Amino acid sequence: MRLGIISALAEEQHGLIEALESPYKLVHGMREYTGGKLWEIDAVCVLSRIGKVAAAMTASILVEKFGVTHIVFTGVAGSGDKNVKVGDIVVAEELVQHDFDASPLFPQFEIPLTGLSRFATDTALTERLAAAAAQTTRVHRGMIASGDQFIGKLAQIQALKAALPDLLAVEMEGAAVAQVCFELGVPFAVIRTISDNANDDAAVDFMHFIKTVASRYAFDVIERFCKEHVRSV
Ligand code: SAH
């Protein structure tokens, strides 16, 4: 396995790059890719920057240029359900691009020519990440939606929840990585620590949370995930 680890923001990957043994760096397409051994796993860490296009490009480059065989996206997200609280972790089973709408040619949310509106994550990776995360905090599994908007208004999150009732979390990259991995046949998973309630307080909660809690969670979960993977093979 060569594992690609993507986050949008530096805080979401805090400490991981420093944990890489025998690191090498390569800048390509305005991103810095750092490879090496992460708790004995061959890994490449990169910050995608924010949004679906940025994430799609980064995932593609990881596969095509760095030869990664598996991808994990780790980051923060807004809550999409009243039972999903700030500080909980959501591990995606499916991802939807909530701002994709080619209707009436195709049903809302369906990605043309794939026949899909939901992209499923890899079961084994998802299982292992959820198990690692459960040792840190409360974990939920289900649907995450991505779009090119920071959801920071109560009316916005309510509208999304009405359209996608099983929504657990909302963010800006996961579903783009999902589509790329589906099309390239690469197993992937998405794990998100809830940073805000995607409502009118979202921007303030987000900034505070990401600096204090989210960075530590991501590190702990990825460390456990890698060690468990090495034990199991
Ligand atoms: N003010 C920040 C903006 C970050 S955008 C900055 O300048 O750096 C929010 C990032 O966190 C995105 O990468 C997204 O995936 C995730 N995220 C967290 N809460 C979100 C929300 N409520 N809506 C959409 N994305 C959210």
14-41 pLDDT, tens per residue?
Answer: 899 999 999 999 999 999 999 999 999 9
Cβ-based neighbours of 112, under 8 Å, separated by 6 or more:
102, 105, 106
50 lines ligand 1 (CB under 6 A): yes
The alpha carbons of the chain give a radius of gyration, in whole angstroms, of: 16
86 lines ligand 1 (CB under 6 A): no
At 14 the pLDDT is 87
Nearest ligand 1 atom to alpha carbon 147 = 24
Q: Which domain holds residue 174?
A: 3-232
Query: Does the annotation mark 228 as catalytic?
Result: no
Nearest ligand 1 atom to alpha carbon 151 = 23
Q: What percent of the chain has pLDDT over 90?
A: 91
Cβ-based neighbours of 192, under 8 Å, separated by 6 or more:
74, 75, 76, 77, 89, 90, 91, 92, 144, 169, 171, 174
CA of 171 to the centre of ligand 1 (A): 6
210 lines ligand 1 (CB under 6 A): no
CATH for 45: 3.40.50.1580
Number of separate domains in the chain:
1
Query: Does the annotation mark 12 as catalytic?
Result: yes
> Are 55 and 173 a contacting pair, CB within 8 Å?
yes
Q: What percent of the chain has pLDDT over 70?
A: 100
Instruction: Read off the pLDDT of residues 185-224 as tens digits, 9 standing for 90 and up.
Output: 999 999 999 999 999 988 888 888 888 888 889 999 999 9
Summary mean pLDDT of the chain: 96
Burial of 50 (0-12, 13-18, 19+ CB in 10 A): middle
Instruction: Read off the pLDDT of residues 117-147 as tens digits, 9 standing for 90 and up.
Output: 999 999 999 999 999 999 999 999 999 999 9
> Which of 88, 110, 196, 205 is flagged as catalytic?
196
At 207 the pLDDT is 82
221 lines ligand 1 (CB under 6 A): no
Alpha carbon distance, N-terminus to C-terminus of the chain: 10
Calpha distance 164→153 (Å, rounded): 17
> Are 145 and 98 a contacting pair, CB within 8 Å?
yes
